[in-house]
Amino acid sequence: LDLQVIEGLPDYFYPDEHAKPEGRYLEPTPYDGERLGDWLETLPHSPQLPGGMTSTEMMAWGGAFALGDWQWDVIGERRSTDQLTLGRAMIATFLEACLDRGVTLHTETPATELVRENGRVSGVVVEHDDEERTYSASDGVVLNTGSYDWNRKMVEDLKQLPAEHAASVAVPGATGDG
């Protein structure tokens, strides 16, 4: 996973002596979606952002609400050539790694519970095709989740900002449940 610093976004507790003016937030570099073949169609689209730009570019172009200042030629070119950015680039990288390793993948299969044995996570319970299934894991379980933008308590605790003053373009399901 190739990552880059999102420029201009400070640490949660900046200017605390241990915080930094930037470097807390990372994003994937653009990813060539053609590498996924037919799996490219399974990747979700953000309902708020068009894709085709990095967060650093969006900030440099005036932010999430300055659509008139965005460089739509750059965005259009990337989208027309399946150059993925933001969350889609991250998901694509993990998806490609799974495909390369022969991992069996199920879509529309939410995890509902972690299985624990002898003090360690040994599997996961999922809902698949309207039935509950349990999968065992020999080397561990990876939880790949998003942020907490729509969880008022976490926003207030971690960003030290009243939730009603916070804005986000994250998907509505980004509630920190992971």
Q: Record the tokens describing residue 120, joined without a space.
A: 């360690």
Say what the pTM is. Answer: 0.70
Half-sphere exposure of 83 (CA within 13 A, CB side): 13
User: Using 50, 70 and 90 to split pLDDT, how confident is the model at 178?
Assistant: low
Taken in order 161, 162, 166, 171, the sign of the CA dihedral is positive
DSSP letters along 87-141, please?
HHHHHHHHHHHHHHTT----SS--EEEEEEETTEEEEEEEEETTEEEEEE-SS--
- Answer for the pair 171, 146: CB distance below 8 angstroms, yes or no: yes
| Separation of alpha carbons 92 and 87, rounded Å | 8
State pLDDT tens for residues 106-129. 887 888 899 999 999 999 999 999
State pLDDT tens for residues 20-64. 888 878 999 999 999 999 999 988 887 667 889 999 999 899 988
| Separation of alpha carbons 55 and 170, rounded Å | 12
